[in-house]
């Protein structure tokens, strides 16, 4: 199977929120966009509209391994990341209400059903015009559909994509040792390469940890962008969702 690799610059056109971390009444978005979220946003897989079960990573993402499709997490570019803060209040403004466990009751004689939704708090969002970068691996024999715009996060915020193809310098991956300064999904790395991981910065975000500035040894693809910049990308990355609980 031939391979096409694209470097994709993602520009947020609206404030974007993911519930990455909860600290008291503050709900934070971490400065990264996970590759599983990107995969759904690109339209490579679609979950049922009425699904209310657990995450469907295995059902939705494993078929993409057979198709040879993969996308890395998006890493924000230096100096191009900004945050925005907002607050929300979903409490009732009715004449009577009281706090029950994980719910707000509106009737004196009736216990409210627990919803486990936050009723008030502050949120940290990725601000509009922030810019991130990721890499997309696609089967080369098919003409890929490259969307120019996608929607991300809890609020379906709009983002623009600018695609640049990499010209691969070799027909096969070459054994190398590299320090990869952008985010990689640790669960998606080949086992043989993961065992060589010696230094890295860890972002422990569910469902799988992300690593950055990782020193790795193993087969790498090397490609050149139209502007002349050379990019090294680990070979053999795939959705490692079969290892997730």
Q: What is the pLDDT of residues 130-188, one digit of tens each?
A: 999 999 999 876 556 789 999 999 999 999 999 999 999 998 999 999 999 999 999 99
Q: Is the pTM of this model over 0.85?
A: yes
Phi–psi pair at 56, nearest 5 degrees: -105, 35
What tokens does 146 get?
């490259």
Residues in a beta bridge with 11: 131, 160
What tokens does 105 get?
């009751």
What tokens does 123 get?
């949120």
Q: What is the pLDDT of residues 163-175, one digit of tens each?
A: 999 999 998 999 9
Dist CA 231 CA 153 (whole Å): 28
């Amino acid at each position: 199977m031939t391979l096409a690799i694209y470097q994709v610059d993602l520009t947020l056109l609206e404030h974007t929120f993911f519930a990455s971390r909860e600290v008291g009444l503050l709900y934070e978005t971490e400065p990264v966009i996970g590759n599983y979220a990107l995969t759904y946003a690109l339209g490579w897989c679609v979950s049922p509209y009425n699904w209310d079960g657990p995450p469907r990573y295995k059902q939705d993402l494993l078929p993409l391994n057979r198709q040879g499709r993969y996308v890395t997490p998006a890493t924000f570019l230096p100096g191009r990341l900004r945050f925005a803060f907002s607050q929300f209040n979903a409490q009732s403004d009715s004449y009577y209400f009281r706090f029950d466990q994980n719910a707000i009751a509106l009737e004196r004689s009736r216990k409210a059903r627990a919803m486990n939704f936050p009723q008030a708090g502050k949120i940290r969002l990725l601000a509009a015009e922030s810019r991130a970068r990721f890499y997309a691996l696609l089967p080369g024999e098919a003409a890929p559909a490259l969307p120019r715009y996608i929607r991300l996060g809890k609020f379906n915020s709009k983002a623009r994509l600018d695609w640049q193809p990499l010209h691969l310098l070799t027909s096969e991956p070459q054994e190398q040792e590299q320090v990869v300064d952008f985010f990689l999904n640790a669960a998606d790395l080949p086992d043989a390469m993961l065992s060589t991981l010696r230094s890295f910065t860890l972002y422990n975000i569910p469902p799988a940890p992300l690593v950055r500035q990782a020193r790795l040894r193993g087969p790498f693809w090397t490609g050149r962008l139209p502007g002349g910049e050379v990019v090294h990308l680990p070979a053999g990355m795939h959705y490692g969702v079969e290892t997730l609980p």
